[in-house]
Structure 1
Amino acid sequence: MASVSTSALLLLPPPPAAEFDQLKYAYEIILSTVCSTLHLKLEGTDRVATLDVALSLPGLLAPSSRPRTRAFASLQSILEGIYRLIGIVCIEHRIELDMPGGIDARVILLDCDVARSTEKNPAVPRDGPIVDLRTLAESGRPWNSVYYPDNQIGLNLAASFSSFYPPVAELKSPGSGLLHAIPDAPHWTPSESVMTLTALNEATAPYTVAVGGTFDHFHIGHKLLLTATALVLQPAEDADAGKERVLIVGVTGDELLVKKKYPEFLESWEERCHSTGAFLTAIMDFRAPGTSKPQLEKALEPGPTGKSILMKIRPDLVFRLVEIKDPFGPTITEEDIGALVVSKETRSGGAAVNDARTRKGWAPLAVFEVDVLHTTEVPPDDAEDFASKISSTDIRRRRMEKALQ
């Protein structure tokens, strides 16, 4: 008998403030309840429960927030806080993250302005990781449950969401069908100025964005980095008609990983690409059911530029997963790349890339830095466990220990 999938959506109203302690105050109880509920539904099996966390933030899609890289620093910091909180909650409840028997959480950003959702042009499909209510509700995701906090702002958000939900009677109103209120949620007043915008002349809207990494045993640190990368890419609604937007992910080649610890538990390049591509699709592809499926092209024979996988999500949106054999990858072989996303612990790599491009007479890349997931605010007894869950090396070590049992 085929296993039943466990998939849920959590609607989070805007927070009282962007600081982590305020995110924790507003969302910890809600996340604890939802994650524990999904974990119980797994019934001790090796299945993985999927949780889409839609975090509402005011003004995300407003004209004043364009280009959206103006809000990059604020948004990536908030994303870091939410993923950190998910990690804290799962450690507290002894729930695995992104492993069999655990939860696969993906955070997307939601503009809950009903007027902007109503005015959406259906001819221009909006892609994540920032979506409007209508795009989210009509995406056809196979959620078994939709959760929201039982406070007033949660009820308002659920009511707005359900107004766009498919016309099935049991799903049409909060409190019925698959819509579930989370009890004991705190009450707060949402902030109207969560985002800090940079000056307009400092913003950029690149059509090609690059990021690199190993992406072994995909975890929430990888999710933060890739979501931030998706934020930099020019969104469909602002793009020139017919112009292709490309997200390039350099995935470290197998031969560069031979000196890694516990090499026998390293995932292959193809496995790491699969996890990376699946996550990007989950946070960016919100097309309604019935649309054409993404096209997949593989070039797995080693060549001058290594292996590659091309995922054409739509004619105007492409993911390129390329094998990297040095610290630069395609950033110094492809002049038309416009931006590079790095973690703050690898910021020197961005400077090295731009030095190399300058020597070739090319324009430097706009470099966007992403926070490293912090273990601050984690109870001391759990901090080491949290750090191990966002370390590919420690994940391989735990896999080895489990295999030896």
Structure 2
Amino acid sequence: MDSDPISRPKALLLLPPPPSPSFDEFQQAYGAALSTVCSKLSQTLAGANSKALLHIAVSIPDALSFSFQNRARVFPYLQHFLATLYKLIGIISAEENIELDVTGGLDTRVFFLDYDPVESFSQPIRTSQYGPIVDLKSLANCGRDWDCVYYLENKTGRHLATSFSSHSSATMHPVPAGADWNRSELSHRPDHMQPSEPHYSVAVGGTFDHFHLGHKLLLTATALTLEPVSDTDSDTERVITIGVTVDELLANKKYAEYLETWNERCNSVESFLIDIIDFVPLENDAPRIQRVSQPGPNGEYILMKLKSDLSLKLVQLSDPFGPTITEESISALIVSKETSKGGAAVNAEREKKGFKDLDVFEVDLIHSGNVSSVDVEKTFESKISSTEIRRRQADLAKR
């Protein structure tokens, strides 16, 4: 690990397939490894004016196969695993006094890896350099400058490390792990009896102030709803639209003087999404960015082309609906469980215009259940609340 205090420590943690959707089993399977890696990275900062970056690749067998299409049918399963893992990260950081997503703290980013410990040396039906689901070889060859790659010190973890290192010269480090477990087979297959359409234009909205675990979950879940396309079908345009609330609508927020600007919040959103989506080797072309300012509703936006058929669009959100009621092509809306009523309101407005209803996907909340004490609960909550982060900044300013 680079000890230069100016550099930003970066690491990758490879996780075998989850044992089940249960938080307790997640904690038993991954807790020791996450605790070790998070502590190691936090200690390397030693008061440096930066954040350590930890990418976490969770293995999901066959995640790139045609059996996982369309994405809408596996969304509940995958988003729940994301929420459970981010919750575990939050609890560990609270118990061990590790700062998250602030200077001097740890920035964790979770995505999925198509890996099967039983058939890891066979090629998946599909490969993808674009997440949030990526194949093993693309991940190993993406050129990210990780200081080291961590893997679990058990049979399945070593098997995953061997498969990864067959494509990469990265430094590999084992971390503690429990005994091997049987992966969940119950809920990870698509329900083909459930009617659902593929989505190529999806939307989400929020303030995204002081970027935290809840924002990461929401944005990763949004990217998961976007249907992949084959190279032979590259004429299908795919767009992720992110409405980011304008500064003027946030003036009455608590501790408003510590709110980030619209541009700062957009920078957090776009850097995170690119990081979990774009695993193309670094020597290839960077995303093309266009800033648009034109009359009419939703005329101010940033358009980022990641590839010819894949774009991110960050729109100034100045009302509760944004582009969901002006762009008929948007077919899905992603909301958290606490804002689920917003989906019905959007569809009521679309109906007035003669637009087809959006499919509304709900994302789990990251809550503080299973914590060890009231103090840990308070610390945990402070890490996933923009208001609490601003309050802490206000308290520090008074000292």
Shorter-chain TM-score tier: over 0.9
- Residues 310-329 of structure 1 mapped to structure 2, 5 A cutoff: 310-329=303-322
Asked if the contact 1:117/1:134 (under 8 Å) is kept, the reply is: no
Q: Which residues of 2 match residues 319-398 of structure 1 at below 5 A?
A: 319-381=312-374, 382-398=376-392
Hey, what does 2:145 align to over in structure 1?
A: 142
Pairing partner for 1:287 from 264, 271, 280: 280
Question: Which stretch shows the higher mean deviation, 300-309 or 266-275?
Answer: 300-309
CA offsets per residue over residues 351-384 of structure 1, 9 Å max, x none?
A: 0111111111111011110011111112232112
Q: Where does residue 49 of structure 1 map in the other structure?
A: 52
Find the counterpart in structure 1 of residue 82 from structure 2: 79
For 2:172, the equivalent position in structure 1 comes to 179
Q: Which runs of 5+ in 2 are unaligned?
A: none
Cross-structure match for 1:307 = 300
Within the candidate set 226, 231, 245, 2:224 is matched to 231
Q: TM-score of the superposition, structure 1-length normalised? A: 0.92
Q: Secondary structure at the match of 2:233?
A: coil
**Which whole-Å CA distance do the structure 1 matches of 2:5 and 2:18 have between them?**
39
Q: Alpha carbons of 1:277 and 1:116: their partners in 2 closer, same or farther (altered >3 Å)?
A: farther
Identity %: 49
What is the aligned-residue RMSD (CA, Å)?
A: 1.9
- Contact 1:306-1:324 at 8 Å conserved across structures: no
Alpha-carbon distance between aligned partners in 2 of 1:369 and 1:304, rounded to the nearest angstrom: 26
Aligned to 1:220: 213
2:105 aligned partner, one-letter code: G
SS at match of 2:311: strand
Supply the distance in 2 between the matched residues of 1:200 and 1:280 (Cα, whole angstroms): 31
Which range moved further: 194-203 or 339-348? 194-203
Question: In the aligned structure 2, how far is the partner of 1:150 from the partner of 1:279?
Answer: 29
How far the C-alpha of 1:401 sits from its partner, in A, is: 1.1
Matched, 1:103 2:106: yes
Aligned residues: 392
Query: Cα distance, 1:183 vs. partner?
Result: 2.9
Going from structure 1 to structure 2, the CA distance change for 1:47 and 1:300 (only over 3 Å counts) comes to farther
In structure 2, the residue matched to 1:403 is 397
Change (3 A) 1:156 1:2: closer
AA of the residue aligned to 2:392: R
1:379 and 1:9 map into 2 onto residues whose CA distance is 27
After the TM superposition, which segments of 4 or more aligned residues of structure 1 sit over 6 Å from their partners? Answer: none
Partners of 2:69 and 2:343 lie apart in 1 by 25
Are the aligned partners of 2:229 and 2:236 in contact in 1 as well (CA < 8 Å)?
no
- Opposite residue 384 of structure 1, the aligned amino acid is K
Change (3 A) 1:275 1:192: same
Give SS of 1:202's match: coil
Per the alignment, residue 68 of structure 2 pairs with 65
Which residue identity lines up with residue 231 of structure 1 in the other structure? Answer: L
1:87 CA drift (Å) = 0.4
Q: Displacement, 1:104?
A: 0.4
